Structure 1
């Protein structure tokens, strides 16, 4: 019997790490112009090009119960225990659906061992929690020790990101129209983060360049005080900006920094051109 890790597609874990640790991914979907798309297979560049000119706003939807059930059952039938780590329950019904499917599985397989964790975040801040679980499982740790590894990362991780425009936050109802208008006029750029399961403003500065500089300074301050574990750069359909940010981070940490593009489910709420840093430290941040 092994412990297998299941997470959802909004973790945006690099493919090679998903394969290395045999992590199962439940895909979320994007609803756009009357059609539903699996975000793991859709053409991301084409999607972002379309939403720039589209009048209607895309929405996202959680994995279907059927998809969840198939992924869970596959592991249970193979006599594996499951630790599932999912998108913040304040952002999606994915965590709730995972718990529902857990009960459905237990009805049929009463001896199954399944633990479901609310990551309280998304993107690679969640991805690092899933990777910590997978590494602990690979080391032969108990399911309790795997869950402990997840909680340690939750207390030591942060995700900071800078949107290119406030328009998508306005469309999604994250900020009011007046705030978006004033922000655009004054060139105000918030640095956003995720705390207690919700997107919040880390700080605000004027101009995107200053926002990116401030984000890097916040990262430096964290790792100087708490010591770096791992770091990755995120971008939303802005590879050149992602590479530039990664280069700056590499100069600080003296190591190769991987880049992971954020998919449409999270991207549609923040918009193309967004860049960010997800990382965890060796000592607790909170």
Structure 2
């Protein structure tokens, strides 16, 4: 029996990609002034960014315990092995909730074969981990192989990103109010990365034009076999800059596989319009 790969909407993988690889995705919640939506199901990233530009501050909520219970139980009842690769536990309570439900379901279904994995990743960095696992599953890889390679990719996934306005990260508690104020005042564009699943400031760069160039330099410093690996770029409704970064990467490294997509509604509600994020492996694994 093939292995089912499960993720949540913070992977920022679009419907087409998920359907092609039979990936099951559970939506996080986006809460606006008038309603609660399911990320990627009945609200688009563009809608969230337009609301934020108009001054609204959407909130988000994790996948519900019942959604996990229904999904995990449905697979356990059928004897379907699956692996749930989760959004970073440092950015959401989704992983902890899934672990709680995992214990409940395994107590009821003693023979159920599944694991809940904290990827410590977000957006398309998380998405790349899920993509690789799903491709292996389609090719008939064993449970152990998918688990091992998925964990490896999660551990070695680099996240390098910048935001257009630090105020959005400050609202969500990702940076201090003082840092957001100083950044906006001096036209400083922050370069951030992920360290053990947390958002960590890396550098402060004056002016947006220098940011993409510095992202390429950091990629060169940290990346491995950049020509042949698949990388990803996600953007907060700024496709032009994302494509510009992709062109720079192709010119510098000859990279052939570059996946570009929106920063999804859940993560975008915290990072804001104009976010540009780059994801690649600092080591390679076939």
Structure-2-length-normalised TM-score = 0.91
CA root-mean-square deviation:
2.1
| Counterpart-to-counterpart distance in 1, 2:99 and 2:177 | 36
Encode CA deviations 1:195-216: one digit per residue, 9 max, x unaligned: 1010111222111111121011
Do the aligned partners of residues 224 and 140 (structure 1) sit closer, same or farther apart at CA in structure 2, a change above 3 Å counting?
closer
1:191 alignment partner, SS class: strand
Segments of 5+ residues of structure 1 without an aligned counterpart are none
1:20-169 alignment runs, 5 A limit: 20-41=20-41, 42-54=43-55, 57-169=57-169
| Counterpart-to-counterpart distance in 2, 1:228 and 1:201 | 28
Do the aligned partners of residues 80 and 273 (structure 1) sit closer, same or farther apart at CA in structure 2, a change above 3 Å counting?
same
Do the aligned partners of residues 32 and 14 (structure 1) sit closer, same or farther apart at CA in structure 2, a change above 3 Å counting?
closer
| Counterpart-to-counterpart distance in 2, 1:269 and 1:180 | 13
* 1:7 correspondence with 2:34: no
Contact 2:27–2:38, Cα closer than 8 Å, also in 1: yes
- The total of aligned residue pairs comes to 283
Name the counterpart of 2:172: 172
Segments of 5+ residues of structure 2 without an aligned counterpart are none
2:223 alignment partner, SS class: helix
Do the aligned partners of residues 241 and 16 (structure 1) sit closer, same or farther apart at CA in structure 2, a change above 3 Å counting?
same
Contact 1:250–1:256, Cα closer than 8 Å, also in 2: no
1:200-239 alignment runs, 5 A limit: 200-223=200-223, 228-239=228-239
Name the counterpart of 1:247: 247
1:257 alignment partner, SS class: strand
Do the aligned partners of residues 227 and 242 (structure 1) sit closer, same or farther apart at CA in structure 2, a change above 3 Å counting?
closer
Encode CA deviations 1:6-33: one digit per residue, 9 max, x unaligned: 1100101243332222110010011121
Encode CA deviations 1:210-263: one digit per residue, 9 max, x unaligned: 112101111133336776521111101112222222222222324252211011
